[in-house]
Structure 1
Amino acid sequence: MLEQLQRLQAHVGVLKTRLLHLESDNETLTQAKDESAAQHHSQIVQKNGIITAKQEEIDTLTEQLTQLQSQFKQLNTDATALADRYSRLEKSCTDLKNRFQEILAERNELRVTKEKLQAQQRQTHQEVQELQQDRDRLQKKNELAKSKVEAIIQRLSILGTSQDQHAQEIQQLADPTEEIQP
């Protein structure tokens, strides 16, 4: 019995030792659990902070997306308006180009007409000069003939042939306004 008691005491000693080890292990595990729980709690808080930041970032990005979509719609509207305006300008440009070509054609026609008129003017001017020269030549010829006729009339009147019928006719031819004197 003593032996059993000693064995029991040895078992109790072993159990006490084991119990002490288990209690220290339990305390260590409890501390580890508490630390782990605190660490998990801090990680949860940190993750929640990150989630909150990400949510705010998502909200900001959503607002930006909304703004960008409205800007995109506005840009599409502006692009459509600009495309319409460009097509109108292009049509106007084509019309102006056609009108410019018409004006160039008219200008070329006017140049041809101007050159024709200038040639006609030069020709007419030359004809006028020729006619003036002919007039001057005919006036000189007429004056020469008139002076010859007057000279003949003077000679006849000097000769005293005032009764001569031919002298009177010549005088009348020279100056038809004079009346014949008998």
Structure 2
Amino acid sequence: MLEQLQRLQTHIGVLKTRIETTEKENSALLKEKDNSEEQAHAQILHKNGIITQKQDEIESLTEQLSALQKQFTQLNTDATALAERYGRLEKSCTDLKTRFQEILAERNELRILKEKLQTEQRHSQQEIKDLLSERERLIQKNDHAKTKVEAIIQRLAILGTEQDQHAQEIQQLAHPSETNEEV
């Protein structure tokens, strides 16, 4: 029994050693668990901070997306308005080109008409010069004839009474305005 007792004591000693070792291991494991929990908690806090930061970034990006979509919509509206305006301007430009071509055609017609009128004017001026020179020639011829008639009248006046009466009639025919003044 002593032997058994000693064995029991040895077993108890071994068990105490094992218990101490197990307790040491247990306390080391508890420390390790606490460290792991702290690390896990720190990682969770870090990850939660990252998640919060990412959610803030998502919200910011969502707001930017919304603003950009509004801007895109506005730009599309502006582009449509500009396209319509460009179409109207293009039509106006085409109309102006057509009108300009019409004006050029009218200008060419007016140039032709101007040249024609200038030619007619030159011919008319030449005709006027010709008529003036003819008038001058006729006036000279008339004066010459008048002088001859007056000379004939004077000769007839000298010829006699009976002939004088005929001369007066001829004179009245030659100068009807003078006889009207006398009457």
TM-score range, shorter chain: 0.7 to 0.9
Structure 2 distance, partners of 1:34, 1:171, is 165
> What is the aligned partner in structure 2 of residue 168 from structure 1?
167
With the length of structure 2 as denominator, give the TM-score of the two structures. 0.82
Q: Mapping of 1:113-124 within 5 angstroms?
A: 113-124=113-124
Alpha-carbon separation, structure 2, partners of 1:18 and 1:157:
194
Range moving further from structure 2, 133-142 or 59-68: 59-68
2: CA distance between counterparts of 1:78 and 1:118? 57
Contact 2:153 2:170 in 1 (8 A): yes
Matches within 5 A, 1:1-182: 5-158=5-158, 160-164=159-163, 168=167, 171-172=170-171, 175=174, 177=176
Q: Which runs of 5+ in 1 are unaligned?
A: none
**Percent of residue pairs identical:** 61
> How far did 1:8 drift?
4.4
- TM-score, normalised relative to structure 1: 0.82
1:126-171, CA deviations, whole angstroms, 9 ceiling, x for partnerless residues?
Answer: 111111111011101110121122123323434x344338963894
Query: 8 Å contact 1:153–1:171 — kept in the other structure?
Result: yes
1:27, distance to aligned residue in structure 2 (A):
1.5
> Is the helix fraction higher in 1 or 2?
2
Q: Does the CA-based 8 Å contact 1:150-1:174 persist in structure 2?
A: no
Would the aligned equivalents of 1:161 and 1:167 in 2 still touch at CA under 8 Å?
Answer: no
**1:40-86 CA distance string (max 9 Å, x none):** 10111111111112112212222222222222222222222221121
Name the aligned partner's letter for residue 163 of structure 2.
D
CA distance in structure 1 between the aligned counterparts of 2:51 and 2:70, rounded to whole angstroms:
28
Structure 2 alignment gaps of length 5 or more: none
- Counterpart secondary structure, 2:162: coil
How large is the RMSD of aligned CA atoms in angstroms?
2.7
Partners in 2 of 1:17 and 1:155 — Cα distance?
Answer: 194
Q: For 1:164 and 1:66, how far apart are their aligned partners in 2? A: 130
Partner Cα distance (2:65, 2:4) in 1: 84
Deviation, structure 1 residue 116: 1.0
How many residues get paired?
178
Runs of 4+ aligned structure 1 residues displaced above 6 Å come to none
